[in-house]
Structure 1
Amino acid sequence: MKNLFFKEGKPYRIEDLMNSFDLDYVKTKELIKNFLNSGVMRVSKSYSDLEILLSDISVDNSKLDIEKDAFYFFKYVGAIQIANNYCILIYPKYMSISSIKKDLNNNFDKFKQLMDVIDKYENKKLQNVSIASDIDDIDDELLGIKLSILKNYYEHGLYNKESEEIKLNGDGKTLWNQTVNRSEAYIFNNIPFYLDVFTLENTLEENNIVQLIQRAIITEVSKDLDMLLDILGFDKVHLSEISLEELGPNEMLLNILEIELNNQFITIRQETVKKMIAYLNNISNNSDGNVTLVGTRAFNMIWEDVCSEIYGNDLDRTFEELDLLVPDPEISNKTLKSYVEKPKWQVENQSPFVSGNPLKLDVLSINSKGINIYDAKYYNISFHNKKVTGQPGINDITKQYLYELAFKKIINLNQLTVKNQFIMPKDDFVEDGKIIAYVKLDMFISLGLEPIGIVLRDCQTMYKHYL
C-alpha cells in the first residue's frame, strides 16, 4: 500500500495527480470521480475561482466535467484509504508543505493531534443526539467515527448487557415479597426465619447480538484502516469470523441497535450504540465501498468549536446570570442569543410581524469589565506588498460590526470595553494570540466602533487546550 500526503486547498492538475498516484490518465480520472462523489474533492476551471470554492458554499460536483485543464483540490482534512492501494493523509490548508513533510518524519505528531481533535468534536455531536433518527441527520459530520469506535473499544472493552434473573438462595439482592409469599417461614422467638430466599441476580449476557455487531464492526474497521492504524499507532483487532453481512441486512442491524439505544440508560453504553448506528448509517450512505474516509469535510466547524471552548461562550446564558444591567427588566431572563433582533416586516394593510433569522454569532463572552466578540475563521491569511489573501470578505467584516451594534445598548449601560476580533489558525506560531493586523470600515468608525483585530492562534497550543 502506498502512503501519500496532500494539502487541503492546494490546486493540482490532472498530470500532478497522475504522477502522485502513479496511474495513467483513464485510471486517474476514475479516481477523481470517486473523490468527487465522496465529497472530499472540488474542481475549478480557473485558478482564480479557487478562493471562492474554498469558502464553505455548496458546490454541485456532479455538474462539473473532468478535463485536463481543470484544477482539483481537496476540501477535506483527515485520512482516505482506497481499497488496499493508497493511504492518503490530507493536512489542513494553514500548514506549509515543508511543515507537512517535517511532520511525516516526526512520527505524524501533528496529524495524530488533528485526528484526536476531530474525534472529540464528533463525540460532542453524538452526545447531543438522543434518538437514533437524529444520528442520520449529522452523518456527514461523523466521518471519523471508525477511529472513535476503536478508541471506545480500547478504553471500555466489549459491549455487555446485564440480564436479571430470580434465583433461589442466590448471592444477589433478597426479594422479600417473593420470599414471604412463596417460602415457608420458621418462627423462633416470634421472629420468622426463611431457610429459602428468592434473590435477584444480575448476569452478563455473553455474545449478545449487540456485542456480535460490535465485534464485526471492529474487525471490519481494523481491516479497512490497515495502514492508517499503523501510522496512528493503533492496535489492529480481529474479534469476529462473522461479517456484518452474515449477521443480517444493514436495515435489520440498525433496527436492533435503535431498540437497544431506546432501552439503554447507562451513558457509556448509549455512546457505544450511537457510534455503531453512525457507522452503519455511514455504510448505507457511502456508494463507493472502496473509499474509506476518516476525517471531516468541514474543518471550519471544528475550528469554531475549538475557539468556542477555549474562549468561553455566553450566548446561551441570560443577562441575569451574567449580572448585567438591561434597558428593559423584561429581558433579564433572555439569553444573549435571543436578544439579537430578527427582521421586522411591514406589509400594507397588515400589522407588523417578525420573520427570519437573527445575526448568528460564533463566540461572545462577557465579564464584569468587557465584552469579547469573536468570529472563528478557518482562513489562511497572509500579507505581501500591501496585498492580502485568504482574508475575511466584506460580508464577514460588516457582520462583525453589526454584532457589536446589536449589543450597543448593553455595552453602554454596563460601561463594557469591547474586544472585536477574527480568530484564525496558524501553524507553529511562536507569538500565539498576537494581533497581527486590524481591519476597519470608516462608516462604522463614525458610529464609535473600533477596528476589528486579526488574531492568529498557534494551532497545536489551541488543540492541546481543547483536548
Structure 2
Amino acid sequence: MEVKDNFFKCFREFQRFKISDLMTNTDINKDYCQLQIEKLLQEKILMLDEDETYYFKFVGTINWIDRLIVIFPKYRELQNLNLAIEDKKYLKQLFDIFEMYNSKSKRTDTFFIETSNETEEYFSLFSLYKKLVEDYVQNNLYENENIVHELLGAGEIDWMRTVQDIQPNFSKNMQPRYLNYYTYNVEEEQQNYIKLIQKELLFKASEFFKQFEELELDIIELDFYFEEEVIGDLDYKINKIDLELREVFSESKIRLLNLMKQILKNLKHNKVNDLNLYGTKNFEKVWENICQNVFGH
C-alpha cells in the first residue's frame, strides 16, 4: 500500500486540538466526517471541552477517513504531529503490550457480551484477524468432504450399505454373495457457504492490516481479494457456522469455525468497527495488568 503524505497523525492522550487538525483534506465528505466524529464522541473516545477543543481519551490507533490517527499515552513527548522513527519503535512496543494483555487466556473479555453498554478495549478484531490469516497460511481454505455413493462404481466398496440395502444370493453352503454392491468416493466440495464466509473475512483482514504496513509490526502480509457478495446478514452467517459445528469433528476445523464466529460477533456488536480501532480507553489498567504479570506483584 502506498502511504500518502501526512497519512499518519499523532496525538497524546488528553492533548487538546481543534477539529480542523483532523480535517486537513478538503476533498473528504464533510457529512461522513461529522458522522465519524459523533461516533467517537458517543463512545467517549473523543471528548469535547468547554472551550470547543477536542482531546482523545484513548491510547492506540484509529483508521479515520483518509489517515491513521496514532494516540500515545499522555506521558509520551511528541516533537510533531507526524510519525518519526522513534515513534514507530515506541508504537511497536505499545502493540506488543496490547497483544500480551489480550492473549491472557483467563482475562474476561467483555467485548463479546451483548449486554455490555460500553466497550473499553478494542483489541479483539486485530488479534482475531491475525489468527485467521495465520490459519489460512497454514491450512489454506476451508473444504468440505462429500461422500458420493454409486451402485457398482469405481470407488471403494461400502460393505455396510451393501449389506443393509442389497439382497444377497446364497451359495450351496449358505455363504452370501453380492452381485451388486455400493461404492463410495470422497470428493472435496469446492464451493461451500462456510468457505465463502472465510474468503469474505480474509478480504476484510487484508484490508484491515494494510493500514499498519508502514508501522513494521511483524504482521503476516496478506493480499487477499474477494468481491463476491455473500448472501445473509451476520446473524445468518453465525447460524450457518453453528450448524456446521454440529457436523464436523476435525479439531482444526472446529477451531477455525469458532474463530470465524468470534469475528462475526465482533463485527456485530462493535458500534464503530468501520473506524478500525485498536487500543484502549483504560491504558493505565492495561499497563498495571502487564506490570503485575511481568513482575509477579
Same fold (TM over 0.5): yes
User: Which deviations, in whole Å up to 9, do the C-alpha atoms of 1:426-463 show, x marking residues without a partner?
Assistant: xxxxxxx5xxxxxxxxxxxxxxxxxxxx96xxxxxxxx
Is 1:110 aligned to 2:93, yes or no? Answer: yes
User: Which deviations, in whole Å up to 9, do the C-alpha atoms of 1:170-203 show, x marking residues without a partner?
Assistant: 545x532322342756869986665754345443
Is 1:88 aligned to 2:69, yes or no? Answer: yes
Q: Which has the higher strand share?
A: 1
Is 1:207 aligned to 2:212, yes or no? Answer: no
Contact 2:57-2:281 within 8 A present in 1 as well: no
Contact 2:146-2:187 within 8 A present in 1 as well: yes
SS at match of 2:15: coil
Is 1:284 aligned to 2:258, yes or no? Answer: no
Structure 2 counterpart of 1:163: 146
1:137 CA drift (Å) = 6.2
Structure 2 unmatched runs, 5+: none
User: Which deviations, in whole Å up to 9, do the C-alpha atoms of 1:364-395 show, x marking residues without a partner?
Assistant: xxxxxxxxxxxxx349xxxxxxxxxxxxxxxx
Instruction: Give the CA RMSD over aligned residues.
Output: 4.5
Structure 2 counterpart of 1:226: 210
Structure 2 counterpart of 1:238: 224
Instruction: Show the 5 A alignment for 1:445-460.
Output: none
Inter-partner Cα distance in structure 2 for 1:280 and 1:37:
23
1:66 CA drift (Å) = 4.8
SS at match of 2:69: strand
Contact 2:129-2:205 within 8 A present in 1 as well: yes
Inter-partner Cα distance in structure 2 for 1:143 and 1:301:
20
Select 2:9's aligned residue among 4, 13, 16: 4
Structure 2 counterpart of 1:50: none
The aligned length equals 274
User: Which deviations, in whole Å up to 9, do the C-alpha atoms of 1:74-132 show, x marking residues without a partner?
Assistant: 3344x32123x11234456686659x9555455964355346436634xx489x99xxx
Is 1:152 aligned to 2:130, yes or no? Answer: no
Closer/same/farther in 2, CA of residues 283 and 125 from structure 1, 3 Å limit: farther
Contact 1:82-1:291 within 8 A present in 2 as well: yes
User: Which deviations, in whole Å up to 9, do the C-alpha atoms of 1:31-76 show, x marking residues without a partner?
Assistant: 54332334534x4xxxxxxxxxxxxxxxxxxxxx554366623334
Is 1:423 aligned to 2:285, yes or no? Answer: no
Inter-partner Cα distance in structure 1 for 2:242 and 2:70:
33
Identity %: 19
Instruction: Show the 5 A alignment for 1:17-416.
Output: 18-19=20-21, 22=24, 32-41=37-46, 43=47, 66-68=49-51, 72-77=55-60, 79-83=61-65, 85-91=66-72, 102-106=85-89, 109-111=92-94, 113-114=96-97, 116-117=99-100, 120-121=103-104, 124=105, 136=114, 140=119, 142-144=124-126, 145-167=128-150, 168-169=152-153, 171-172=155-156, 174-181=157-164, 182=166, 184=168, 197-229=181-213, 231=215, 232=217, 233-244=219-230, 247-288=231-272, 290-297=274-281, 377-378=288-289
Give the AA of the match of 1:88.
Answer: I
Greater Cα radius of gyration, structure 1 or 2:
1
Give the AA of the match of 2:14.
Answer: P
Closer/same/farther in 2, CA of residues 298 and 66 from structure 1, 3 Å limit: closer
SS at match of 1:238: coil
Contact 2:56-2:71 within 8 A present in 1 as well: no
Structure 1 counterpart of 2:17: 14
Give the AA of the match of 1:240.
Answer: F
SS at match of 2:63: strand
Contact 1:254-1:280 within 8 A present in 2 as well: yes
Give the AA of the match of 1:259.
Answer: L
Give the AA of the match of 1:423.
Answer: Q
Instruction: Give the number of the structure with larger relative contact order, counting CA–CA contacts within 8 Å between residues 6 or more apart.
Output: 2
Contact 1:183-1:197 within 8 A present in 2 as well: no
Give the AA of the match of 1:160.
Answer: E
Q: Give the TM-score, by structure 2 length.
A: 0.67
